[in-house]
Chain A
Amino acid sequence: MPAKVVKLEAPADNFAFRVYLVEVVKGMVRTLGHLLRNVVPIFVAEGKKLAGNGDGSVKGMPIVSFPEARRDYSERFRGRHILKTRDDGSLKCVACYMCQTACPADCIRIEAGEHPVLAYEKYPTVFEIDMLRCVMCGYCVDACPKDAIWMTKDYELAFFDRKSAIYGIPMLTEKPSDTAADGPGYGYRPYYGESPARKAGEFEPSGLPLLPVLEARGAAINRMPPPPPPKPA
């Protein structure tokens, strides 16, 4: 490809330019055009009693009337974290310290303990994320080998003091504000990528029901009642 350099010249200093008034009129036409394009739909919408969501937002107008209306974020939005749970309500996390290691901001603290259900082996007795240190990079989600931590679309995180910015397990297991199951409230999650080994329908992402699998293999399962839900810190 031959290199191409275009030499630009500043617009010429002609009569219309020096008169100034021509350009003023042209400019007014442009800005008034914007004004009309923004204002006319409002009157049209008023006539229809704002059939939409009633938040005053009008199609085509580059405005989000926060907080009545909210911007739509994608399925990858990196907001507050959420610790995923198994069907029985226990944390999927096995306290392997991967997210703590991967975190560039050093904001995750985990303490591991032995789980009452033998098959679950290890679980975090303490799992804290310092939201004031967190840079919302999503590296913890990428690093988790158990699909145990996702992020949500909750982004309004405000605190009165530094202590309340440290989220423990109760805060981190809270479902995102507008969600049902894997619904719209969830944000950044593991990326499965393209792999030659992957075939359609063959792979169940995460949440492998561990106990039935082990039972089918004939392992002795210590059937203890599921652990009590973690107490608020």
Chain B
Amino acid sequence: MSALASAPSSSLTYAPVLDKRFGPKARIEARPAKDIATITLTDRSAYIEVARFLRDDPACAFDLLLDLVSIDLLNAPAPLRPRDGSRFQLHVILYSTRRNDHLRLIVNLPEQNPRVPTLVNLWPAVNWFEREAWDLMGIEFEGHPNLKRLLTHNGFVGHALRKDYAAGQRWLCTEEDLLQTDLAAQTETPEDIFETMTVNLGPSHPATHGTLRIVLRLDGETIVAAEGECGYLHRCFEKMSESHTYSQVIPYTDRLNYCSPMINGFGYARAVEDMLGVEIPPRAKAIRVILSEFNRIMDHMVCIGTNLVDLGALTNFWYAYQAREAIYGLLEACCGARLTSSYARVGGLSADVPPNFDEWSRSLFPIIKTQLDDIDGLVSKNRIAHKRMRGTGIVSRENAIAWGFTGPCGRASGLAYDVRKDKPYEGYDELDFDVPVMTDGDNFARYYVRMEEMRQSLRIIDQQLRKLPKGPVTTDDYRVILPPKEMVYNEMEGLIYHFKVVFEGTKVAPGYFYSSVEGGNGELGYTIVADGSGNPYRLKVRPPCFPLFAAYEKIIKGGMVSDAVATLGMLNIIAGELDR
């Protein structure tokens, strides 16, 4: 609520307080206009102290932890490498829901024995992010309750995102999976071992909607303990992007959240554009907004449709997928594929929309509205749906913030944070739309918020179609994007630009950058570290459902198995995005 009410703070109001308290230990960095504020620790030992201050001091109040980025600066060029020669770097991305402000806290770690105290006691959301950093970068977090591998297998050797780890190595992982025994050891009394039972939900289970696994310890039908496991779909997206040019990463982004593929590509392209300082033409921005909203509708339709199947309501699934199918036709006409869209380019779009885009988009409105009304009519006042969804999987506002919830799940818990409103991009600030918020925090609230968001998305599309500007869809800076084809075919200069962009890629000046968009599930953030070459030096995605799934085991504890299934569906865990 308050996040939206307060105006975005452009100046660092907390700078004097911080300076007074920590002096030279924490240095506030000058950042490019579009990036977020940054504090670098010059004294590593002050890490926890500064972090606690940032969370608790009323002038800072950074209560939501968005992301933890680990970077290996081995052989990095001088501007990136810290003066003390540290090899590793951690970026803690924070957000203040009260002041609507982002912050990055940087701490440098030495090459030998990179250790840092854990932040779990300050922000519980960091739990899995720290496990990921340990798994892929080998940074140790002192005092972490459960520091073990997350995305790779137990038998994996080495830390894959380190620069001295060659891509393409193969390991035969034969080691037994220890999750089940881990969970068995957690029983409180020996008696529990006989009275309870350990059950696998997934990795191949119809209710998981993807390959992820939850180990449940059951007393009858009640969940005594649960532990989630992901990584089955880990495709080394971040490692692979380091060996591809900035534009070659775009096809990879389609596979992150495959229910709303275009938003990922647009978000990534925008991050690189902001970093380069490239402005894309207004038509490209408008098209990005329209197609993002269509993707959001698809994402919510899939979430609601499939989850209602898990609850026993098959009809809604057909209605939801009918609308999605109609949207797919439009997306395919724009980009040439239904799901693997690759429509975004750094500096615009791969092509203009088809000539009948306006009529086509408008012809989808009645289809989507009919299906929405049908689902609404069948479910919203359905007593069975209420019995299944109301009061199950409750997440309070405090917990939602502590666990790093954003997006529809956060808004269902009363956290009125929407990147489109709070940090507007691509002209969302010129559009009139509402952010639906509920305070119940249960599965029904998540369902209801999503239904309303789809209606708001239609409103956005309608407004944006009305003022769809004419003109090009790509920037005319040919160091960034391929020049028009007639220049390439007929002119020497055009051909040279073309060769440079294809062979060397778009060169981004050394530095780091964080940029986020509102994905289908929440804040989709990209941290890009550039070293001046055509490939990203390090790319880190903040997948919105990563913190959701990390919190899942806590939400379902004490409930019934059937409620756990409803909760899993309504959190909308997308394995492609979760595992990257």
- Closest A residue, CB atoms, query B495: A145
At the interface, yes or no: A4 with Cβ under 8 Å from chain B? yes
At the interface, yes or no: B448 with Cβ under 8 Å from chain A? yes
Given contacts A34-B374, A62-B325, contact A6 B248 (CB under 8 A): no
Chain A interfacial residues counted at CB < 8 A: 55
Chain B interfacial residues counted at CB < 8 A: 73
State whether A31 touches B434 (Cβ < 8 A).
no
State whether A101 touches B337 (Cβ < 8 A).
no
Chain A residues in 8 Å Cβ range of B439:
7
Given contacts A145-B498, A205-B489, contact A78 B337 (CB under 8 A): yes
- In whole Å, how far is B135's beta carbon from the nearest beta carbon of chain A? 25
Chain A residues in 8 Å Cβ range of B16:
none
Q: Which of A34, A139, A197 contacts B486 (CB 8 A)?
A: A197
* B350-388 vs A, Cβ < 8 Å mask (1 yes, 0 no): 111010000000000000000000100110111100100
Q: Give the distance in Å from the alpha carbon of A137 to the alpha carbon of B342 in the complex.
A: 6
State whether A102 touches B502 (Cβ < 8 A).
yes
At the interface, yes or no: A68 with Cβ under 8 Å from chain B? no
At the interface, yes or no: A5 with Cβ under 8 Å from chain B? yes
At the interface, yes or no: A124 with Cβ under 8 Å from chain B? no
At the interface, yes or no: A212 with Cβ under 8 Å from chain B? no
* A57-76 vs B, Cβ < 8 Å mask (1 yes, 0 no): 00000100000000001101
- Closest A residue, CB atoms, query B482: A142
At the interface, yes or no: A180 with Cβ under 8 Å from chain B? no
Q: Which of A1, A5, A197 contacts B437 (CB 8 A)?
A: A5
Given contacts A5-B4, A138-B342, contact A18 B484 (CB under 8 A): no
At the interface, yes or no: A55 with Cβ under 8 Å from chain B? no
The listed residue with most B CB atoms (<10 A of its CB), out of A98, A136, A137, A198, is: A137
State whether B336 touches A74 (Cβ < 8 A).
yes
At the interface, yes or no: B191 with Cβ under 8 Å from chain A? no
Q: Which of B319, B340, B354, B471 contacts A136 (CB 8 A)?
A: B340
Mostly, the B contact residues are helix
- In whole Å, how far is B358's beta carbon from the nearest beta carbon of chain A? 16
- In whole Å, how far is A192's beta carbon from the nearest beta carbon of chain B? 5
- Closest B residue, CB atoms, query A145: B488
Mostly, the A contact residues are loop
Stretch at the interface among A162-170, A171-179, A183-191, A217-225: A183-191
At the interface, yes or no: A17 with Cβ under 8 Å from chain B? yes
At the interface, yes or no: A104 with Cβ under 8 Å from chain B? yes
Given contacts A4-B435, A139-B248, contact A193 B484 (CB under 8 A): yes
Q: Give the distance in Å from the alpha carbon of A105 to the alpha carbon of B254 in the complex.
A: 14
Q: Which of A3, A7, A20, A136 contacts B337 (CB 8 A)?
A: A136
Chain B residues in 8 Å Cβ range of A135:
251, 340
At the interface, yes or no: B432 with Cβ under 8 Å from chain A? yes
Given contacts A4-B435, A8-B436, A104-B248, contact A31 B336 (CB under 8 A): no
Given contacts A5-B416, A142-B482, A193-B472, contact A208 B489 (CB under 8 A): yes
Q: Which of A1-52 contact B (CB under 8 A)?
A: 1, 3-11, 17-18, 20, 23, 26-27, 30-31, 34
At the interface, yes or no: B409 with Cβ under 8 Å from chain A? no
State whether B484 touches A5 (Cβ < 8 A).
no
Q: Give the distance in Å from the alpha carbon of A188 to the alpha carbon of B351 in the complex.
A: 10
Chain A residues in 8 Å Cβ range of B452:
6, 8
State whether A23 touches B502 (Cβ < 8 A).
no
Chain B residues in 8 Å Cβ range of A98:
498-499, 502-503
State whether A5 touches B1 (Cβ < 8 A).
yes
Chain B residues in 8 Å Cβ range of A130:
none
Which A residues are closer than 8 A to B by beta carbons?
1, 3-11, 17-18, 20, 23, 26-27, 30-31, 34, 62, 73-74, 76-78, 98, 101-102, 104-105, 135-139, 142-143, 145-147, 151, 187-188, 190-195, 197-198, 203, 205-206, 208
Known contacts A3-B435, A8-B452, A77-B336; 15 additional CB pairs below 8 A are A5-B1, A5-B434, A5-B436, A10-B386, A23-B382, A31-B378, A76-B333, A76-B335, A77-B332, A78-B336, A102-B248, A104-B252, A143-B498, A191-B350, A191-B351
List 17 A-B residue pairs with CB atoms under 8 Å apart, sorted by A's residue number. A3-B4, A5-B436, A6-B452, A9-B438, A34-B374, A74-B333, A74-B354, A76-B333, A101-B502, A102-B248, A104-B251, A138-B342, A145-B495, A145-B499, A193-B472, A194-B352, A206-B489
